[in-house]
């Protein structure tokens, strides 16, 4: 009988072509170079003291001839340890110094140590905080359990290639908070600081781990479940459905020091850098208009089930509608449900329920409005709304609005 690991491996193999096409479109910054893990022979393992070798390919004299292809990407996603795995990574920037994504590598190499369990727990807490912070910025982050032992990769994809310096500064603004998140060291970022003439580093693609019997699991966001991690087909579905987000904020001209670990900071003061919250303010000033979007009747069916926090099924086309709006606007989810809340605890419970529902169904949004005051916005989308703008359209606007109101109230003329 096949083991669970083998079953999961077959699922990745079955979807390898689909994943390769996704990676080619969303992850490949340049095709002339890539990274690869090579499994060493028994004699090489004894000599090297490790089971694999990481290398950049192709050799310099072959660059321009051998390229990243769909076939190479397919072999990566179909890799299994007992079938000569070809596990690869992609470079962080293009020849034009742009990047389609950022990656944060939260390592846990001491999985056999006494403190490994505590290390893994702190890594997870830090990864989840950053995952939520990226969501608050309007991104659809992808958090992957890479080795089943406390190592995590956090990816953020962009709709269009962005200047690598801007991408680096966004990633760096997060990882410089590593001590506050109680991590053992500052995680490695991809991209790193731009160096003229350098190829940059490469980051391993999701899939099979290069040394462990483990396929990447994807964080679902449903942390109330017994196991909120997706694997196999479910993980693959989550990966290929990630929505690339807007460009990163324009990089501030500040000098962030190289990556530091706890050991290197014992004799030095931590580097003072702008907090991610401050950078989010920069992100908001991109010129996007704000749209208030009603929950019930626009996104969710008004067929309620029992319970104040119960929400109907998504209306057909609503998810795609929010993604279209997100391309040119900031989306505030607005609902009259909060007017019925009598305590702060009830308000927080309702907000958590709405957020869980939106995230479960992959809606695009920036914020859930919980205050009683009407939020300032350039447009309000509501199934019970009536348009009326007499300053632009004259006195006839009142007549049209009255007619529309009667229609909503089912009053016959």
Examine residue 403 and state whether it is found in any structural domain, yes or no.
no
CATH number at residue 130: 3.90.920
How big is the CA angle at 26 (ends 22 and 29), to the nearest 5 degrees?
125
β partners of residue 254 = none
* Residue 103 token pair: 């990656």
Q: Report which listed range, 239-243, 253-257, 319-323, 368-372, is most confident.
A: 239-243
Residue 206 CA to residue 236 CA, distance in Å, equals 9
In 3D space, the residue among 50, 43, 186, 71 whose CA is nearest the CA of residue 126 turns out to be 186
337 and 195, same structural domain?
Answer: no
Give the tens place of pLDDT for each residue, 347-386: 999 999 999 999 888 888 889 998 877 888 899 999 888 9
137 and 37, same structural domain?
Answer: yes
Treating both helix axes as pointing N-terminal to C-terminal, what angle do 116-136 and 164-175 enclose, rounded to 10 degrees? 130
Total domain count, the chain: 2
Has residue 113 got a pLDDT over 70? no
271 and 300, same structural domain?
Answer: no
Give the tens place of pLDDT for each residue, 36-53: 998 766 777 777 777 678
Examine residue 390 and state whether it is found in any structural domain, yes or no.
no
Q: How confident is the model at residue 256 (pLDDT cuts 50, 70, 90)?
A: low
Q: Which domain holds residue 312?
A: 288-382
207 and 62, same structural domain?
Answer: yes
Has residue 231 got a pLDDT over 60? yes
Chain centroid to CA 315: how far? 24
Burial class (CB in 10 A: 0-12, 13-18, 19+), 178: buried
pTM: 0.63
Examine residue 389 and state whether it is found in any structural domain, yes or no.
no
224 and 298, same structural domain?
Answer: no
119 and 171, same structural domain?
Answer: yes
Examine residue 356 and state whether it is found in any structural domain, yes or no.
yes
β partners of residue 125 = none
293 and 274, same structural domain?
Answer: no
- As a whole-number percent, the residues of the chain with pLDDT over 70 amount to 87
CATH number at residue 292: 3.40.50.1000
Examine residue 367 and state whether it is found in any structural domain, yes or no.
yes
178 and 72, same structural domain?
Answer: yes
328 and 237, same structural domain?
Answer: no
Residue 155 CA to residue 147 CA, distance in Å, equals 16
Has residue 70 got a pLDDT over 90? yes
Residue 232 CA to residue 211 CA, distance in Å, equals 19
Q: Report which listed range, 13-17, 285-289, 320-324, is most confident.
A: 13-17
């Amino acid at each position: 009988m096949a083991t669970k690991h083998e079953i999961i491996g077959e699922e990745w193999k079955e979807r390898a072509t689909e994943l390769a096409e996704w990676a080619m479109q969303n992850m490949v910054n340049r095709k002339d170079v890539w990274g690869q893990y090579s499994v060493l022979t028994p004699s090489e393992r004894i000599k090297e003291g490790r089971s694999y070798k990481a290398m950049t390919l192709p050799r310099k004299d072959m660059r321009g001839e051998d390229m990243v292809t769909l076939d190479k990407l397919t072999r990566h996603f179909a890799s299994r340890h007992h079938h000569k795995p070809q596990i690869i990574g992609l470079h962080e920037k293009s020849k034009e110094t742009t990047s389609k994504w950022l990656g944060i590598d939260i390592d846990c190499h001491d999985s056999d140590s006494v403190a490994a369990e505590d290390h893994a727990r702190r890594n997870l807490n830090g990864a989840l905080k950053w995952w939520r912070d990226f969501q608050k910025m309007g991104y659809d982050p992808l958090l992957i359990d890479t080795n089943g032992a406390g190592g995590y990769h956090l990816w953020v994809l962009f709709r269009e290639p962005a200047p690598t310096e801007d991408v680096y500064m966004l990633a760096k603004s997060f990882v410089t908070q590593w001590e506050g998140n109680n991590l053992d060291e500052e995680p490695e970022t991809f991209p790193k600081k731009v160096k003229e003439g350098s190829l940059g580093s490469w980051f391993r693609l999701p899939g099979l781990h290069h040394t462990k019997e483990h396929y990447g699991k994807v964080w679902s966001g449903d942390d109330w479940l017994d196991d909120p991690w997706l694997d196999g087909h479910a993980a693959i579905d989550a990966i290929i459905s990630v929505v690339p987000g807007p460009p990163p904020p324009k990089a501030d001209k500040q000098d962030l020091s190289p990556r530091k670990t706890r050991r290197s900071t014992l004799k030095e003061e931590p580097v003072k850098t702008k907090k991610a919250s401050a950078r989010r303010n920069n992100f908001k000033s991109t010129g996007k208009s704000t749209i208030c979007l009603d929950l019930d009747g626009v996104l969710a069916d008004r067929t309620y089930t029992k319970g104040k926090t119960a929400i109907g099924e998504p209306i057909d086309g609503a998810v795609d509608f929010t993604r279209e709006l997100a391309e040119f606007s900031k989306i505030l989810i607005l609902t009259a449900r909060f007017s019925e809340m009598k305590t702060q605890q009830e308000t927080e419970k309702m907000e958590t329920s709405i957020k869980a529902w939106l995230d479960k169904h992959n809606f695009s949004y920036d914020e859930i409005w919980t205050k009683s005051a009407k939020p300032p916005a350039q447009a309000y989308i509501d199934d019970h709304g009536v348009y009326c703008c007499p300053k632009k359209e004259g006195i006839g606007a009142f007549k049209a609005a009255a007619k529309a109101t009667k229609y909503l109230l089912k009053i016959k003329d």
